[in-house]
Amino acid sequence: MKKYSFFLIFLIMILSVLPGCGGESTHLNRYSRSSFDLFDTVAVITGFDTSKEAFDAKTDKLLQLLEEYHQLYDIYHDYDGINNLKTVNDNAGVRPVAVDERVLDLLEYCIEMYRVTDGYTNAAMGSVLSVWHGYREAGAENPERAALPSREELEDAAQHVDISGIIIDRTENTVYLSDPKMQLDVGSIAKGYATEKIAAEAEKMGWDHLAFSIGGNVRTIGTKGDGTPWTAGIQNPDLSAQDASVCRVALTDLALVTSGSYQRYYMVDGERYHHIIHPDTLYPENRFVSVSIVCGDAGMADALSTAVFNMTYEDGKALIDSMAGVEAAWIDAEGDFYYTDGFASTLIEE
């Protein structure tokens, strides 16, 4: 999907996360900065500070750090002097690759989320996801010739998704993919994980009135400058609807991440095939059109939103209910909206 499409998709989220002007502290002013080049999406940092110069100085550091994560976690592009996840994929079955410890941190977190979600979030599914990516890109460029991958092609790729094949050596700071046909794809975790790391850095700076929206991955630190919660909207999957959001939620020191089928997809014979692939069926599921997670960690919210999207409602709710401080909301294929009991406490009456 082209970058301008991402801009249109996330403009609603960007606007919804921006706080209102009324009631702001007389000592703090609201400022905002955007980037259109990181994680192939729109990144917005909004905060309250004493001056634009102070805000810009702090956000310069945060945007630089976000760019570093973008390059380290990129599976499509090479960068001079950097061994990133593409380098790791390129050397699958060949040799261990020395990497920045932040790559090892991410991969260990991916392995942990694989365990937590019982395999529904699997960073080792790149071989399968790359098959779908190729067909989706071809279908988007030439809709009249759009096609589906064959069952045989997908099942062959699925022979190379064993996450235990990710071999991490902390002593040497290396990662090795033991299966030559394994490929990493961290699209279900990386944005949220990087967002959480940026938030941690901002907290170290002493900021307590800040909000990030990175490709729709929202993370807030503290409140707005007037002490009221930040607010963000859960996007209406019907992008042509008059109401851009199905609801708004209040967020203080919380993340909101949504996985949806209404953004990245292509059409084959009148049917929509989106980008969230079920790890067992190897095809997109159409039970839900979006799943949103609210919790205190953007990386976990990112991983869980993908996993729960592919689960039945009963299994997804059971997982969320088993985790302290985590709430979820679903919009199903019929447009019905339902959520966990704790999620209700975040909803804003309008």
Sorted by where each begins, the domain ranges of the chain are 3-73+188-346, 85-177
Give per-residue pLDDT as tens, 37-91. 888 888 999 999 999 999 999 999 999 999 999 999 999 999 999 999 999 999 9
Give per-residue pLDDT as tens, 107-125. 999 999 999 999 999 999 9
CATH node for 85-177: 1.10.3980.10
Residue corresponding to tokens 């851009």? 244
Q: Where are the alpha helices (DSSP H) in 101-143?
A: 101-116, 126-141
Q: Report d(CA 107, CA 21) in Å as an integer.
A: 41
pTM given for the model: 0.90
Q: Report d(CA 173, CA 272) in Å as an integer.
A: 42
Partner residues linked to 339 by β-bridges: 329
CATH node for 3-73+188-346: 3.10.520.10
CA distances from 71 to 75, 130, 200, 245, 251 (A): 9, 19, 19, 32, 29
pLDDT at 195 over 70: yes
